[in-house]
Chain A
Amino acid sequence: MFIVNYIKEVFGALKSLAVGLRRTMFYFTHHKEIITEQYPDNRATLKMSDRFKGEVVMPHDEKNEHRCTGCTACEVACPNGTIKIITKFEVNAEGKKKKAIDKFVYHLELCTMCNLCITACPSDAIKMAQTFEHSVFDRSHLTKVLNKPDSKIMEGVE
C-alpha cells in the first residue's frame, strides 16, 4: 500500500531525527564529555588519545639493547624514503660473521606517520611515540639516528 508506506516513512523519519536530537542534547547538557585539550595551559596534565602517532622510536632496554636485526623491511615498506638503514658485519663469539645495524636513520621531516614501518617490522623493534613538539630551528635536527651509540641487538632476536 502506497499510503501506508508513506505514513510509515514520515513517522520513521521523525523518529530517527529525534534520535539524533537526543544525542546532541546529551552532549549539550554533559560538559564533562568535552574532549578539547587546552594545550599550552595544561601541558603537564595533557591527555593524549590512544591512536595519536607522533614519531618513530626504537625502544632500548636497560642493558642498551634493541630488537632491530637490520632486515630493512621497514625501509622497503616506507612509501617516501623516510627510513635508511646502514648495516655492518659483526663477528660474534663463535667467530661467525653476522649482519647488524650500524645506523638506523630516520627522517622525521619526511615522515607522514602512516604506521606502515611498524606493521612491517617482524621483530617489533620500532614503535610510534606520542611526542609532538617537534619544531626546531634547523632542518638537520629532524634527521635522527634511532639506535643509541654502542647499542647491541638483544639476545635471541633473529
Chain B
Amino acid sequence: MWSISNIANWVNEWLGKNFSAAWVTVFEMVIAGILVISLFAVLGLILVIMERKVSAWMQIRLGPNRVGPKGLLQSAADTVKLLVKEAMTPNGADKFLFNLAPYLAIVVSMLLMAPIAFAKDFMLWDLNIGVLYVSAISSVSVISILMAGWASNNKYSLMGAMRSGAQIVSYELSAGLAILSIVVLTGSLNMNDIIRSQADGWWIFKGHFPVWISFIIFLIAITAETNRAPFDLAEAESELTAGFHTEYSGMKFALFFLAEYVNVFIVCAIGATLFLGGWMPFHIGHWEGFNHIMDFIPSSLWFFGKTFFLIFLIMWFRWTFPRLRIDQLLNLEWKYLLPIGMINLLLVTAMAILKWHF
C-alpha cells in the first residue's frame, strides 16, 4: 500500500544501494531540509488564505475573491509583493540584532518541526523526550521577539516586545501543566509512545472530564503563546501600530509573519498529537466494520485533518473575542488558568493511579 513511510523507506533503500553510508546521511539531510522549507512555504500560503477567508465569513464579508479562482491565489500574489519589496534597516537600529531576529524566529519554528509525527512511522526525529523538547524550544521564540523589539530602537516595538515577554513567560506555565496531564496519563515523553497509547481511543475521550479541562487550558495557552488575538498584545495594531515588527518591511517582515503562522500549525499539531491521537484513526469500541473503514483513510490525512480542525478553532477565537488588556491577561493566567491547571493535574494524577480512565 502507498504511504508516506513506504516512500521514505524506498528513497532510503535506493540511496543505500547507490551511495556510501556517509553520503546517504548527507542526501537525506538535504531532502529533509528541502521538505521542511517547502512545507513552510505551502503552510504559509494555505494558512494566510484560510485566515483571510475565515475572518471574512465570520465578519459577514466576502474576503479575497479577485486573484485566481475564488481568490485562492491571493496569498501567492502577496508573497511575490513581499519578496520584491525593499527590506529596510532603520538608521538608529542595532543592525546585527535587527537582522538576526527574523532568522531566529524562523529557525525556532523549523526546530519545532523535528519531533512531530506527520504520518504513521514518518517523523524527522524520533526523540525520546519529544514533549520536553517542544516546550523547551518554543520558549526560545520569545527571544527573537525581544531581540526585534529592542533592536528596532522604537518605543512601540520595545513595548510590544516587553508585553510579549511577560505573556509568553506566564502562559508557558499553564501550557506546560496541560501537556503534563497527558504525560502523566501516558507515562512517556516520546511523541510516538503518546500516539500509540491512543490506539484504543483518543485521550480526549479516554480521559473524560479532567482531560477536557486541560484541553481547554491548552487551547487558551497556545493562543496566548503564538501571540494571536485575543492575546495579540505584542502586536496590538490599535495601540502599538504593529508591536515588535513595526520597523520591519519586505522579506524580514514576511519571515516574522511566516513564523507566526507556522508556529500556529506546530502548536496545533502538538495539540492534535497529545489530545486527539495524532495520526491515529477514529475508532469506536467494538464496531469492527466502522473501525476498518476508518483504517482505510491514510494516517497523514488524519493528522492534517485534526491539526487543521484545531487551527480553525484558533482562528474562530481570533475573530470572535475582543483583545484583553495586559492586566486582564496576567490576571487570567495567574488567578484562573494556573490554579485550575494545578488542581486539574492532581485530578489527572489520581485518575492515572486509580485507573479511572477507560
Contacts and interface: CB of A to CB of B under 8 A. Distances in A.
Contacts of B336: 10
Contact of B320 (A10, A24, A31, A36): A24
A35 interface: yes
Contacts of A35: 60-61
B205 interface: no
A31 B53 CA distance: 12
A17 interface: yes
Interface string B37-71: 00000000000000000100111111000000000
Contacts of A31: 57
Nearest to B54: A28
Nearest to A37: B62
Contacts of A27: 57-60
B319 A24 contact: yes
B356 interface: no
Contacts of B59: 27
A20 B62 contact: no
A17 B216 CA distance: 12
Contacts of B82: none
A88 to B, nearest CB: 51
B62 A21 contact: no
Contacts of A17: 320-321
Given A21-B316, A21-B320, A24-B320, A36 B58 contact: no
Nearest to A29: B57
A11 B238 CA distance: 30
Sorting the interface of chain B by its residue count into under 10, 10 to 19, 20 to 34 or 35 or more gives: 10 to 19
B124 interface: no
Contacts of A24: 58, 316, 319-320
Interface string A11-51: 00000010011011101100101111010000000000000
The secondary-structure label for the interface of chain A is helix
B321 A20 contact: yes
Contact of B340 (A10, A21, A38): A10
B316 A36 contact: no
Contacts of B340: 10
Given A10-B340, A24-B316, A24-B319, A38 B58 contact: no
A101 B94 CA distance: 68
Interface in B212-245: none
Contact of B316 (A10, A25, A38): A25
A5 to B, nearest CB: 12
A45 to B, nearest CB: 16
B321 A36 contact: no
Interface in B310-326: 316-317, 319-321
Nearest 10 Cβ contacts at the A-B interface: A24-B58, A36-B62, A24-B320, A20-B320, A28-B57, A28-B58, A36-B61, A33-B60, A34-B60, A35-B60
Given A28-B316, A36-B62, 9 more contacts: A10-B340, A21-B317, A24-B58, A27-B57, A27-B60, A28-B57, A34-B62, A35-B60, A35-B61
29 contacts: A10-B336, A10-B340, A17-B320, A17-B321, A20-B320, A20-B321, A21-B316, A21-B317, A23-B320, A24-B316, A24-B320, A25-B316, A27-B57, A27-B58, A27-B59, A27-B60, A28-B54, A28-B57, A28-B58, A28-B316, A31-B57, A33-B60, A34-B57, A34-B62, A35-B60, A35-B61, A36-B60, A36-B62, A38-B62
Interface of A: 10, 17, 20-21, 23-25, 27-28, 31, 33-36, 38
